Amino acid sequence: MDFYSISSGFLYATFFIYLIATAFFGMTLGNKRDDNKKSKATKYAMIFTIIGFISQLTSYIFRWLEAGHIPVSNMFEYVYFFGMMLILAFIVIHYVYGISALGLIALPVAIVVIGYGSMFPQEVAPLVPSLQSSWLYIHVTTVGLAQAILAISFIAGMLFLIVKVDQSVRSKETTFLELIIYGILSTIGFIILSTTFGAMDYEAVFTKEIDGYQEEIEYDMPALFAPHDSEIITEDRFASGLETPGWMQGVDAGPKLNSLVLSLVVGLILYAIIRLILRQRVAAYLQPKFGKISPDVVDDIMYRAVAIGFPLFTLGGLIFAAIWAQEAWGRFWGWDPKEVWALVTWFFYAVFLHLRLAKGWHGKKSAWLAVIGFVIIMFNLIVINLVIAGLHSYA
């Protein structure tokens, strides 16, 4: 039986089922809609969300059967697991608190996360020697679950800010909200670029001398930034003549920087188009659509998500990671970029809880911290992985 093909089929089905669930959540928008219609729309939205989660879990199980080990060994597998845990966390939160408006943020975020992960190579490959450890499964799954729960605090924080920030005047708060939305659109930009040029079978190849050997470096997007000190050996009508800065180390530094910059450009174009259509800020358009939401309940969701996610991240991101690092590399800590950013993440959420419990930071202050915390997580997932080389670059 071809487990890989079955897994891929369920993956595509999952994506479209979540889109249907999002559409039903969209039917709950607006203050003037009939409560009965909103209730039915929410019911169907949750039914499709659960069906989508089952489909995603089935896809994951078949990939597990194909690989012979729990699939968390590369970017595609980790992001897919992270997105699955995010949906699971949302389902639990919805049935505890019953706020359907969370789905209008949670489902699109999950779709973007899954789409982002799907742009990375999906082939099932044997584990490299450095990953052949039980600590791989313990460390990565715990971190993935922790970050998914922490993402719920971001979703609640965004909902709180969209509802409570004064959109009648331009301010730092409205600007920062739009920047977060732009960041999400930039991730969508990466998905669009990868899908488009993948369908075109686009390829640009450069040669670069590394440690006395000529290495070939392949691009699957237009080579806006060529590798530093390299020569192109294929025709590329998109080449700009710009080079990746020399201080960016690693054979993949050029393609990583290239993908990041192009995604930001496409995200800016998408944001400009949406602004032209709406003729106002995106958050200002959404604010009156959410209806009546209890700020205290949303604030409680933010806090509980961090209160649960932070200890889990402490276990997975620091303690389990340090034990595995000692086993694999002979040291508990080595200032690798991923290790440093994990520590930054841990300190940030520790400060969040301190300010919340000791200083009484609630409402907007907590919401902004929850949003910034998720930005830190995504910076680690996207920028550290795509741009900065380190011991974790095999992922």
pLDDT digits (tens, 9 = 90+) for 38-96: 788 889 999 999 999 999 999 999 999 888 888 888 888 888 999 999 999 999 999 89
Per-residue pLDDT reduced to its tens digit, 265-309 = 999 999 999 999 999 999 888 888 876 788 889 999 999 999 999
Rounded Cα gap, residues 234 and 230, in angstroms: 12
The region of weakest confidence among 231-240, 285-294, 365-374 is 231-240
The two structure tokens encoding residue 372? 């910034």
Examine the pLDDT at 255 and tell me if it is beyond 90: no
Q: How crowded is the C-beta side of 116, counted as CA atoms within 13 Å?
A: 29
The angle subtended at Cα 45 by Cα 39 and Cα 49, nearest 5°, is: 145
Which residue has better confidence, 33 or 230? 230
Please tell me the predicted confidence (pLDDT) of residue 53. 96
- Across the range 236-263, mean pLDDT stands at 74
Q: Which residue has the higher pLDDT, 22 or 237?
A: 22
Residues whose CB is less than 8 angstroms from the CB of residue 35 and which lie 6 or more positions away in sequence, other chains included: none
What letter does residue 374 receive in the DSSP assignment? H
The pLDDT of residue 331 is above 80: no
Strand-pairing partners, residue 230, are 208
Report the C-alpha gap between 267 and 382 in whole angstroms.
15
* pLDDT the model gives residue 394: 46
Residue 314 has pLDDT above 90, yes or no: yes
Instruction: Decide which of 121 and 155 is more confident.
Output: 155
Name the percent of the chain lying above pLDDT 70: 90
Domain residue ranges of the chain, discontinuous segments joined by +: 3-167+281-394, 171-280
- Can you read off the two tokens belonging to residue 332? 């508990």
Both tokens assigned to 169: 């005047």
Which residue carries 């400060």 as its tokens? Answer: 351
Q: Which of 107-121, 238-252, 373-387 has the lowest mean pLDDT?
A: 238-252
Average pLDDT over residues 367-394: 75
**What ranges in the chain are assigned the alpha helix state H?**
3-26, 35-67, 75-97, 103-118, 134-164, 172-199, 253-278, 282-286, 295-313, 321-329, 337-358, 364-378, 385-386
- How far apart are alpha carbons 367 and 153 in whole angstroms? 8
Q: Confidence band (pLDDT; 50, 70, 90) for 347? A: very high
242-260: average pLDDT: 74
DSSP for residue 389: -
Region 157-162 average pLDDT: 92
Residue 50 burial by Cβ neighbours in a 10 Å radius (0-12, 13-18, 19+) = middle
pLDDT given at position 147: 93
- Residue 155 has what pLDDT? 94
Neighbours of 365 (CB within 10 A): 14
The answer on pLDDT for 156 being more than 90 is yes
What does the block give as tokens for 75?
Answer: 């970017």
Buried b (16+ CB within 10 A) or exposed e, 290-319: beebeeeebbebbbbbbbbbbebbbbbbbe
Angle subtended at Cα 40 by Cα 35 and Cα 41, rounded to the nearest 5 degrees: 95
